[in-house]
Amino acid sequence: MSQALVLYYTRTGTTEKMAQAIADTLSEEGVSTDLVDVSQFQIDDLTKYDLIVIGSPTYYGTMAAEIKEILDESIKLHGDLNGKIGGAFSSSANRAGGNETTIWSILSALLIHGMVIKGVVEGSHYGPVAVGTFDDKAKKDCQNYARELSQLLKSLKSAPAV
């Protein structure tokens, strides 16, 4: 069975609610999923996952230091995450708070690891965002994103080796 990690940092609880919605949907889609607060995470565990989704609040247009620290530590795993699927999500207090740049900063690190990233046609194209609170739109976007990632994971896992 495929293994997924939803790793997050939260201060107000919004990013945690997003992480929970993504993890719940992945589980509903039949993907074994671990939901982990970044403070409880060990970097070497990254290699056991097929899908890694990382969430952070937006601080000054980029990820929280707690998430950046994990990504900085991941350099020791360079090459070991190649071909795995990655994704990101973010929350902010304001509409123009920098959510897209936060998501891009996370996705950039995952791309450098050689991970596969998937955009979303409808909704939040780069990854789900919540503005202010975890409302119905943010929940729907999180669930849709998780379904899209689950479908990609299942597709890649069932594809014949090249």
User: Pick the residue with more confidence: 70 or 159?
Assistant: 70
Q: How many CA atoms lie within 13 A of 30 on its CB side?
A: 5
- Which strand (E) or helix (H) includes residue 15? helix 14-28
Helix 14-28 vs helix 136-158: angle between axes, to the nearest 10 degrees? 40
Residue range 88-147, pLDDT digits in tens: 999 999 988 899 999 999 999 999 999 999 999 988 899 999 999 999 999 999 999 999
Rounded CA gap, 151 and 76, in Å? 29
What does the alpha-carbon distance between residue 51 and residue 98 come to, in Å, rounded to a whole number?
A: 25
pTM: 0.96
pLDDT value at 29 more than 70: yes
Structural contact between residues 21 and 143, judged by C-beta atoms closer than 8 angstroms: yes
pLDDT of 8 higher than 80 = yes
Region 30-55 average pLDDT = 98
pLDDT tens string 44-98: 999 999 999 999 999 999 999 999 999 999 999 999 999 999 999 999 999 888 9
- Which helix (H) or strand (E) is 85 found in, with range? strand 85-92
Whether the pLDDT of residue 162 is over 80: the answer is no
Task: Dig out the tokens for 157 from the structure.
Answer: 């896992």
Which of 8, 6, 15 minimizes the C-alpha distance to 34? 6
